[in-house]
Amino acid sequence: MGTYISKADTSVALLYLSVTAFFGGTVFYKARKKKMEKANTFVCGLLLLSLEILCFAMLRSYAGLLLFSGACLISYICLPVRSMLPVDNKAVLITGLWGIVNNAGVLGFLADGELLPMSIYRQCMDVNFFGAVEVSKTFLPLLRKSQGRLVNMSSMAGGVPMPRLAAYSASKAALSMFSGVMRQELSKWGIKVAVVHPSGFRTCIQGTPELWDKQEKHLMENLMPDVKTDYGEDYILALKNFLLHMPSFCGSDLSPLLDDVLDALLAKSPHGLYTPGKNAYLALCIFCYFPLWFYDFFIGKSLCVKILPRALRASESKSKNT
């Protein structure tokens, strides 16, 4: 027996769709004009979509439509937006230190963690982590007087694991955790701490071909013979191709990154975490809320190396022939 859909149900459904379209458009306009936090917009939209489905399923009448419309109106009014500090009311911007942005960073050579020499690990930790900690500790007495801002530039790779970035990711993860602890400890002094997890931007952090050759030579000279045999020189030399193609994965427009840093420095209520750039927030959500095998599949498809180590190629060839 077929399901009968009345004209009243159809008209109510069309009104639901109209309200949804109107509210979605107004929220999008508000987000663009007033720089609403994208996480707030996403969560609010998800909750309202669930409420819409529930109202339509349980209350197929104008009562459900009124309930959903009221929820939309309340959500629009209550959605937080970023408000900036009035500069003329902050004398500290002229007479004292208001903010520190720890932006220095090195990438090192991109290779499997087993292949990287310890010097690359130490270099990444020295610059990306210990440098930021030392600068922060040096100037924190001034920030305590001004109740200012501390902004640390971490990375998307500091929040989620990414292949061939063991040294870089470990140093940035340490910086992210340091920033979180500082946010908790310095709040009693009135200092706001934020950490930025950008995705790829074209900042030339990958270095030059001359630097890659030097790092590659250093890597080859420090490999154990059995490790070099198992991986194969062709596999190791192919890793440099990822550096060559790295700019194609990175955005050329730095404005999302700069806007977030400015917000962290000047907003009345800055966020503790910023994720500017393509897929930075998406990758973090997948890593946190999905099974790890799904995240590994997702990141593996994005950053795959088409050549296998020599030992694995030999094993694969042997299994095919048997």
Q: Is the pLDDT confidence value at 140 over 90?
A: yes
User: Which residues partner with 137 through β-bridges?
Assistant: none
Q: What is the mean pLDDT of residues 1-8?
A: 51
> Which of 7-11, 110-114, 123-127 is least confident?
7-11
Strand partners, 151: 101, 194
SS3 99: strand
Choosing from 4, 76, 121, 168, the catalytic residue is: 168
Q: Residue 56 half-sphere exposure, CB side, CA atoms within 13 Å?
A: 19
Average pLDDT over residues 201-224: 84
- The sign one gets for the Cα dihedral 157, 158, 162, 165 is positive
Mean pLDDT, rounded, for 31-57: 61
Q: Which own/partner contact pairs does 300-305 have at CB distance under 8 Å and 24+ positions apart?
A: 300/163, 303/162, 303/163, 303/164, 303/242, 305/163, 305/164, 305/238, 305/239, 305/242
pTM (2 d.p.): 0.71
- Greater confidence (80 vs 99) lies with 99
- Active-site residue, 168 included: yes
**63-67, 267-271, 304-308: least confidently modelled range:** 63-67
Beta bridge partners of residue 33, listed in sequence order:
none
**Between 206 and 106, whose confidence is greater?**
106
Mean pLDDT across 65-75: 67
d(CA 2, CA 309): 59
Mean pLDDT along residues 179-208 = 91
CA 314 to chain centre: 38
Q: How much of the chain, in percent, has pLDDT values that exceed 70?
A: 68
254-279 pLDDT, tens digit per residue, is: 899 999 999 999 999 999 999 998 88
Q: What is the mean pLDDT of residues 110-118?
A: 93
Q: What is the DSSP string of 144-191?
A: HHHT-EEEEE--GGGTS--TT-HHHHHHHHHHHHHHHHHHHHHGGGT-
pLDDT for 47 beyond 70: no
Q: What sign has the CA pseudo-torsion 49, 54, 60, 65?
A: negative
Cβ-contact 292, 111 below 8 angstroms:
no
Query: What pLDDT score was predicted for residue 118?
Result: 95
Q: How much of the chain, in percent, has pLDDT values that exceed 90?
A: 42
Q: What is the set of domains in the chain, with CATH numbers? A: 9-78 (no CATH), 95-320 (3.40.50.720)
Q: How far apart are CA 296 and CA 239, in angstroms?
A: 19
Q: Scan for tokens 């960073």, then name that residue.
A: 105
Looking at residue 262, what is its pLDDT? 95
Burial bucket for residue 243 (CB in 10 Å: 0-12, 13-18, 19+)? buried
pLDDT at 1: 45
Per-residue pLDDT, 55: 65
CA-based nearest residue to 169, from 102, 222, 112: 112
What does the pLDDT read at residue 10? 67
271 contacts: CB under 8 Å, gap ≥ 6? 37, 194, 263, 264
| CB neighbourhood size of 306 (10 A) | 6
pLDDT of 90 strictly over 50: no
pLDDT at 196: 96
- Give the mean pLDDT of 232-243: 83
Residue 224: closest CA among 240, 242, 236: 236
Determine the pLDDT at residue 45: 64
- Rounded to an integer, the average pLDDT of 211-239 is 88
Q: Is 239 or 81 the better-scoring residue by pLDDT?
A: 239
Which of 36-50, 109-123, 195-209, 215-229 has the lowest average pLDDT? 36-50
**The pLDDT of residue 279:** 84
